[in-house]
Amino acid sequence: MTNLAKRSSSPRREQQAVLLDLDGTLVASHNGIIGAMHRALHDLGHDMDPARDLTWVIGPPLHDIMARLLGEFGDDRVGQAVERYKHHYEGGGLFDSPLFPGIQLAVEQLAASGRRLFLATSKPVHTARRILDARGLSPLFEGMYGARPDDSGAEKPELIAGLLQREAIAPEHAVMVGDRRFDIAGAHANRMRAIGALWGYGGRAELEEAGADALVDAPDGLVEAVHTQLAASAAHG
Largest CA distance in the chain: 70
56 Cβ neighbours under 8 A, 6+ residues apart: none
Going by C-alpha positions, the residue among 65, 130, 143 that lies closest to residue 91 is: 130
Residue positions annotated with a catalytic role: 21
Can you give the C-alpha Rg of the chain in angstroms?
18
